[in-house]
Structure 1
Amino acid sequence: MSGSSCSRRWLVQAAAPFLAAFANLNAAAKAQPGSVPPAARQALAPTGRLRAALIVSNPVLVRRDVATGNLGGVSVELATALAEHLGMPLEPVPYANPARYAESLSREIAWDVGFAARDPARGEFVDFSPNFMEVDNVFLVPAGSRLTQLSEVDQPGVRVAVPQGSAPDLFLTRTLRNAEVVRVPGGADQAAEVLSSGRADAYGENAHLLHNVLGRIPAGARMLDGRFNVVQMAIAVPKGRDPTALEFLTQFVAQLKRDGTVARAIEAAGLRGVHVASD
């Protein structure tokens, strides 16, 4: 892949059902393909293309340009950097929401790397790189809610909505003892609908997405102070891959954090409640 332009961007074209084409995205200080151990390259991209799973309903990971449908954001930038590091073309594998991504884990996985949350339930099917990003998870409650603090959420009669199959769903399913978990498709529209309709008393999600939901529901809605969880984002690889894949990703993620690539991607996406993962 040519290195003639240091300011190029991969533009992932959204066409039926998701992507039709994609072009080059800004690549920072890419390594020469020869610097990657052959065993790692084969383990990470056995088809000769890096197939990267992307959850397109989560704006912390993927941003869709309203006018063009193009996809960008942190996971697209990091996937592009990884593909260039390996000296291979990138093949995005988009999933409409976390539930569709979770379904891909329970059968033969059709991707090589997945950019999503680390979670024990997913760990049955994949192995994880070190974390590249941390995301605050909070509760949003509608106007007039009797809930005023985190400690009041887990009680009988409280309905907590979550995106099905998401990190908040997996975490709250394990930890809530009294409240009812209401699972809905991911995305801001679904969050706004379930709160506006009264089908849920609170919505648990990342703080960035919920800031966007605030403008879609009646005035007076608010986010409860504090975080109920901090989600750790990592690069997943299907179990059974050669261990050199994870060894390489460990060094790769450390480099992206060290050289500021992750921080720049977070800033470019305008994310709130999102931080570069600590070492």
Structure 2
Amino acid sequence: MTQQQIAPALVPAFAPTGTLRASINLGNPVLANRDPVGGDPVGVSVDLAHAFGRRLGVPVELVVFEKAAASVDAVRTEKADIGFFAVDPARSEGLRFTTPYVLIEGSYLVPDSSELADNGQVDREGIRISVGSGSAYDLFLTRAIEHAEIVRLHGAAPALAAARSREVEVAAGIRQLLEAEARRAPGVRVLPGRFMVIQQAMGIPDVRGAAAQDVLGSFVEEMKADGFVSDALERHGVDGAVVAPAAQLPS
């Protein structure tokens, strides 16, 4: 795939300060973590941020957050220039998204003693579902759940702990994270299948305009097509996500 050329006049739309400020969410371990040795942010989203900075010819500053909602707000309020988010209608105001670059499964964690055997049994009276407040699965379940109660907690770790301690009947989250929790210690299990597919995309503040959105979207499609995203997933040992299919961009 031919490498896109970014018009110099568009560079300030992405880096008005002369530096590309990239909002990184450490709350999604599929996309970003801290290096266990040096503590620096590492992951697929970090790699994409640096690659886009190189494409623009500007330095990159990582603006790091522990929760998705804070990472989204940083871009929406232009405290950061780009971000890496799950696409959701509740996040569309004030943002422009690209097509997705990675797909992640959202699943349920339950205590081993639970009678729940599949995802279709979760949405009923008397069931409490813990989620990280403002996460992609919180937003999705807020629209989809009709009978169960959603218990919003400060991040993924407290949500998983609530299921293990029987404070709730179910915890919702990224499948890879739930499987790691189930392997960590006996007492919980992951229900088979998924209740949603999370589409991870790049985003910019809405005020940066449609031309900037198109450029960023073309960059994402190029990174998928030339193997950059798949290589990054492999390099960082991610097995809970797949590269999103190629999208047809406007000509």
TM-score normalized with structure 1 length? 0.83
Distance 1:276 1:70, change over 3 A: same
Q: CA deviation at 1:67?
A: 3.2
Aligned-partner Cα distance in 1 for 2:83–2:14 = 11
Give the equivalent residue in structure 2 for 1:229: 196
Q: Could you tell me whether the CA contact under 8 Å between 1:115 and 1:235 is conserved in 2?
A: yes
Aligned-partner Cα distance in 2 for 1:269–1:182 = 32
Q: CA deviation at 1:216?
A: 3.8
Give the equivalent residue in structure 1 for 2:39: 69
Aligned-partner Cα distance in 2 for 1:266–1:167 = 20
Aligned-partner Cα distance in 2 for 1:46–1:109 = 10
Aligned-partner Cα distance in 1 for 2:232–2:108 = 25
Q: Could you tell me whether the CA contact under 8 Å between 2:109 and 2:160 is conserved in 1?
A: no
Distance 1:44 1:103, change over 3 A: closer
Give the equivalent residue in structure 2 for 1:249: 216
Give the equivalent residue in structure 2 for 1:151: 120
Give the equivalent residue in structure 1 for 2:111: 142
Give the equivalent residue in structure 2 for 1:112: 81
Aligned-partner Cα distance in 2 for 1:267–1:53 = 22
Matched position secondary structure for 2:245 = coil
Of 121, 131, 148, the match for 2:100: 131
User: How many matched pairs?
Assistant: 246
Aligned-partner Cα distance in 2 for 1:139–1:237 = 31
Distance 1:164 1:102, change over 3 A: farther
Percent of residue pairs bearing the same amino acid type: 39
Q: CA deviation at 1:30?
A: 11
RCO greater where, 1 or 2, for CA within 8 Å and sep 6 or more? 2
CA displacement 1:221-275 (0-9 Å, x = unmatched): 2111111000101111111113221111121111101110000111122223311
Matched, 1:36 2:18: no
Aligned-partner Cα distance in 1 for 2:21–2:165 = 39
CA displacement 1:72-120 (0-9 Å, x = unmatched): 01100000100011110001111111232344467x3311101111110
Aligned-partner Cα distance in 1 for 2:39–2:173 = 24
Matched position secondary structure for 1:121 = helix
Matched, 1:214 2:148: no
Matched position secondary structure for 1:183 = strand
**Match for 1:197: what amino acid?**
S
Give the equivalent residue in structure 2 for 1:9: none
Give the equivalent residue in structure 1 for 2:130: 161
Q: Which runs of 5+ in 1 are unaligned?
A: 1-28
Q: RMSD between aligned alpha carbons? A: 1.9
Give the equivalent residue in structure 1 for 2:151: 182
Aligned-partner Cα distance in 2 for 1:155–1:109 = 40
Matched position secondary structure for 2:192 = coil
Give the equivalent residue in structure 2 for 1:265: 232
Q: Could you tell me whether the CA contact under 8 Å between 2:160 and 2:171 is conserved in 1?
A: no
Matched, 1:55 2:25: yes
Aligned-partner Cα distance in 2 for 1:145–1:271 = 29
Shift >4 Å, 4+ stretches: 29-32
Distance 1:251 1:104, change over 3 A: closer
Q: Could you tell me whether the CA contact under 8 Å between 1:102 and 1:165 is conserved in 2?
A: no
Q: Which runs of 5+ in 2 are unaligned?
A: 247-251
